[in-house]
Structures are given as C-alpha cells and as structure tokens.
Amino acid sequence: MEWLKEFLGDELYSQVEAKLKGNDKVKLANLASGEYVSKSKFDDKEKELATANDTIKQLKETAEKFDGSDIEKLREELKNTQTKHDAETRQLKEDMKKRDAVDAWLDAHPTKHRALMRSQFDYSKLTVGEDGKISGIEEIGKSLTESYSDMFVSNDEGDDTQSNPKDGGIDHGKSPQEKDPGKMSMEEYRAWREKQ
C-alpha cells in the first residue's frame, strides 16, 4: 500500500491505513501493473493448465507407441491383408460351388458309397465360369463311372435311378425303395432282415 502515499500524501495515507488495518473485507492492490488476478480466476486457469498438461502427456504416450512406425507401411500391410482375405473368400466360394456341383452330379448318378466317390473327384480340374457354372465335372464323372463301374447303382440291379416324386427323389445315392428300418412296419422289417 506504500504506493498510495505518492497519490494521497502522508496525512491522508495515514488515515486510510488506520481505517483499513484489520479489515478483511477491503483489500487494496495496484492493478496498473496487471499483475493482480482474482483467486477464483487463478484457480480456474490452474485447472485448465493441469488438464492441458494431462492431455499433452497422453498424446506424447500415444505418439511414443507409434514412434518408429511407418504409417504408409502399415497402410500397405492393411491393403495386402484385405486383398488376401478377399482372395481366400473368393476361393472358398468357388470350392463350395464345386462341392455342390459334385453333390448334384452324384445325386444324378447314385453310388453305393457316395463319400468314397466324392473323394475321387479331382476338384483342381473343375473350373467355375463367370456365369457360376462348373466345367469339367462331366469328364471327371465319365472317367469315374468307367473306372469304378461296380460302385454305381444301375437299373439292371433292380434299383430305380429316376427320381420318385412320392419319395422326394433319390437321397444321396440310396435307392428310393430303401427305407429307414426304424420307420418300417414289422412285416417290412422282417422282409428287409431276410434280404440282409
């Protein structure tokens, strides 16, 4: 408060100083230098600074994790991984189409051992066209029917190889006359057992 002496003079300054002594409600400060800030403003700025420092620290820690990483290299790896995934997905879809085509061929050409005949198909020789049609299956099928003729069900064995609308068609190489023993009547079961 000494700076007031210059403006008020000694006598007036002494009177003001005596009145303000011990008074907590009024405080005098020289605001001309711009150094005074209220406590609440100071506390707010201090909180803002602490938050800013925390944010800077977190950003530095995050940046350190990527320090030495080549972002372009990471992008290229991601692109390559996506390309590989797309190719594998396309290949799986083609393999499923080939398998379905083989199953359809086997439905049309019943066998005594379906799984065994399915395993004899060389899937690498089958190709999927842009229209989704499988080529090469008839050639492989013809070769199999010639090489394994005893494995295929023929009409002269008494089995009907045509689809039967009543029975829902041929079920994976089984004759339409063949019935599940658990669903047979007692007479049908006895007749079936005698054939075995």
Mapped to the 3 state alphabet, what secondary structure does 23-81 carry? CCCCCCCCCCCCCCCCHHHHHHHHHHHHHHHHHHHHHHHHHHHCCCCCHHHHHHHHHHH
Which of these, 3, 37, 30, 1, lies nearest to 17 by C-alpha position?
Answer: 1
Co-location of 89 and 42 in the same domain: no
Co-location of 80 and 167 in the same domain: yes
Co-location of 156 and 94 in the same domain: yes
Co-location of 79 and 161 in the same domain: yes
The arithmetic mean of pLDDT across residues 109-115, rounded, is 87
Q: Specify the residue for token string 């089984």.
A: 174
For residue 21, tell me if it sits in a domain: yes
Residue 134 near residue 92, CB atoms below 8 Å: no
Co-location of 85 and 170 in the same domain: yes
For residue 61, tell me if it sits in a domain: no
pLDDT of residue 44: 87
For residue 68, tell me if it sits in a domain: no
Q: Would you tell me the crossing angle of helices 71-108 and 137-147 to the nearest 10 degrees?
A: 50
Specify the higher pLDDT residue, 7 or 116.
Answer: 116
For residue 70, tell me if it sits in a domain: no
Co-location of 45 and 79 in the same domain: no
Which tens digits make up the pLDDT trace of 33-75? 666 777 788 888 899 999 999 999 999 988 887 777 778 888 8
d(CA 62, CA 80): 25
- Residue numbers of the domain that contains 34: 2-50
For residue 63, tell me if it sits in a domain: no
d(CA 143, CA 173): 18
Co-location of 81 and 166 in the same domain: yes
For residue 64, tell me if it sits in a domain: no
> Is the pLDDT assigned to residue 79 strictly greater than 80?
yes
Which tens digits make up the pLDDT trace of 123-143? 889 888 888 888 998 999 899
| C-alpha pair distances (Å), 121 with each of 133, 136, 146 | 17, 10, 13
133 burial class (0-12, 13-18, 19+ CB within 10 angstroms)? exposed
For residue 88, tell me if it sits in a domain: yes
Q: What is the tally of structural domains in the chain?
A: 2
pLDDT of residue 29: 64
For residue 191, tell me if it sits in a domain: no
Co-location of 87 and 34 in the same domain: no
Co-location of 21 and 88 in the same domain: no
Residue 173 near residue 112, CB atoms below 8 Å: yes
Co-location of 102 and 43 in the same domain: no
Co-location of 83 and 161 in the same domain: yes
pLDDT of residue 80: 93
d(CA 94, CA 135): 12
Co-location of 8 and 89 in the same domain: no
